[in-house]
Homo-oligomer: A and B are copies of this chain.
């Protein structure tokens, strides 16, 4: 794969349930997590649910962070997708685990980008020969 980013799928378990239902708090710590990772926050969009639970996204210059919470299970599904070498998504993961007082955290990490078999096919036509991670949203 021609890697353009790193994506962490995080299952955060046995968290503080009150915090998982506090939209304002979650919006603050998700934005702060982006800062901790070295990212630049552009936009946020959060929504709370009745009777409980919150969904939220933080658009960053380097991709995004998202969170969905199930306070009734003490569980949050978090995504951290970053591109560029100046951002460290793992710092955001550690910060969020600490803030939400999670007892358990499972992280699956993946590269995002163009699969090699496709990259090879395109490169053979010259289009990607000098390509590098230089997109405007990939600082």
Contact = CB atoms under 8 A, between A and B. Distances in A.
Interface of A: 4-5, 7, 9, 11, 13-14, 42-47, 49-57, 59, 61, 63-64, 66, 68-70, 72-75, 77, 79, 81, 83, 104, 106, 108, 110, 112-115, 118, 122, 127-128, 131, 135-138
Classify the interface of chain A: helix, strand, loop or mixed: strand
A49 B137 contact: yes
How many copies of the shown chain assemble into the complex? 2
7 contacts: A13-B115, A14-B118, A42-B55, A45-B45, A53-B137, A55-B64, A79-B79
Contact of A137 (B13, B55, B113): B55
B57 A47 contact: no
Contacts of A68: 5, 63-64, 81, 83, 137
Nearest to A108: B110
A104 B73 CA distance: 38
Contact of A59 (B56, B73, B122): B56
Of the listed residues A47, A108, A112, A115, the one surrounded by the most CB atoms of chain B closer than 10 A to its CB is A112
